[in-house]
Amino acid sequence: MLQVISLLLENKPGALMRVTGLLSQRGYNIESLTVARTLDPEISRMTIAVDVDSTQRQQVIKQMNKLINVLQATDLTDLPAVVRELVLVRIRMPQESRTAVLKEAEIFGGRIVDSSTEGFAIEATGDPEKLGEFIDVMRSYGEIEVTRSGALAIGLEAKKLRLQPPVPTKTKMEEITY
């Protein structure tokens, strides 16, 4: 099944590699992954959709939480959350289909971002499944090329970010002796 995970991670070199490496190391298939900075430039937000056996969902979250750069890992699969995706479609179709394509795009809330004699570039956002349907419909009109952003998610219930306080070092403090 598809598990949607929202991660807050420290914006440190290699942090992304740790997350993707962990997923492949443990045999979980990444369906999509998006990452960008949050309001705090030191922290990134990552949304990952993983294809994983439902019995393994908790284990994925626990393994994520073990990564030192991960501040919080939340399984949004069963929580109230909004999941959205952006898709860009470039379509080439016969002249006579232009109006129909425009209509269909409108039904799906798509926006024309480029228009030429050959066709359109259309931008649409929405629920990933809905976008799948949009793509299918567009395909029926002509030759298309598609770029999807991958799922972006936000939980609808506030979850407190619990950070660990600094730990005093226990190292020996005497002055250098050489």
Tell me the DSSP string of 91-126.
EE--GGGHHHHHHHHHHTT-EEEEE-SSEEEEEEEE
33 touches other proteins by CB under 8 A: no
Is 173 strand, coil or helix? coil
DSSP single-letter state for residue 79? S
139 touches other proteins by CB under 8 A: no
Q: In angstroms, what is the minimal distance from the CB of 7 to other proteins?
A: 10
Backbone φ and ψ for 134, nearest 5 degrees, come out as: -55, -45
Stretch that binds other proteins, among 78-86, 104-112, 117-125, 170-178 (CB under 8 A): 170-178
| Cβ atoms of 138 and 91 closer than 8 Å | yes
67 touches other proteins by CB under 8 A: yes
Greatest Cα pair distance in the chain: 87
If the CB atoms of residues 160 and 172 are measured against other proteins, the closer one turns out to be: 172
168 touches other proteins by CB under 8 A: yes
If the CB atoms of residues 11 and 97 are measured against other proteins, the closer one turns out to be: 11
How far is 170 from 173, CA to CA, in rounded Å? 8
How far is 54 from 72, CA to CA, in rounded Å? 20
Stretch that binds other proteins, among 67-75, 84-92, 93-101, 117-125 (CB under 8 A): 67-75
Stretch that binds other proteins, among 112-120, 125-133, 139-147, 161-169 (CB under 8 A): 161-169
Binding site for other proteins (CB under 8 A): 9-10, 13-14, 17-18, 21-22, 25, 58-59, 62-63, 65-72, 163-169, 171-173, 176, 178
